[in-house]
Amino acid sequence: MPASPTDLFAYLDALNIAHNTYEHPATFTVEEGRHLKSTMLGGHSKNLFMKDKDGVIVLISAWADSQLKLNQLHKLIGTRRLSFASADLMQDLLGIVPGSVTPFALMNDVDCRVRFIADADLMAFETVNFHPLVNTATTAISSADLRRFADVTGHGLTMIDFSVL
């Protein structure tokens, strides 16, 4: 059974990771949530669940204002060309649905099939913000704690500067 937001918060507490969560109406895109999140400190994210033709699966967390060149990402990541992964694969591996993509879902990927990549521009913020497994809230943690969370889940975090594309 995939983790719930309550499970996530208990997990963060057990890791002594400070977190603040703000509830809001459901948002499915960065633009939809921009006005809601304008009062929340830190870097806001856009998160992409992608795979290549060889079956390499990646979760990319980028700064909301980054201009990602989707047809060029693979060159920096070291994969073949990437496309968006299916909702079924997302549900199977991360236990979430489209619109709720978040690195917090790595806790559901117990087989560590997903490679986690974070944008250097996002990680430059002291505080970073993500959906807590649902898109009706935003949870803030420190960027250092995001790295620790990824490590504890067995995924690690590969930081890439997407601005060079």
List the CATH code of the domain at 5-164: 3.90.960.10
H or E element in which residue 128 lies: strand 127-130
What's the confidence (pLDDT) of residue 28? 73
What are the CA-CA distances from residue 29 to residues 2, 22, 87, 99, 116 (Å)? 23, 17, 16, 7, 20
What's the confidence (pLDDT) of residue 77? 94
Residue 1 pLDDT more than 70? Answer: yes
- pLDDT confidence tier of residue 35, bands split at 50, 70 and 90: low
Domain ranges of the chain: 5-164
What's the confidence (pLDDT) of residue 165? 78
- pLDDT confidence tier of residue 31, bands split at 50, 70 and 90: confident
pLDDT, tens digit, 9 for 90 and up, residues 53-89: 999 999 999 999 998 999 999 999 999 999 999 999 9
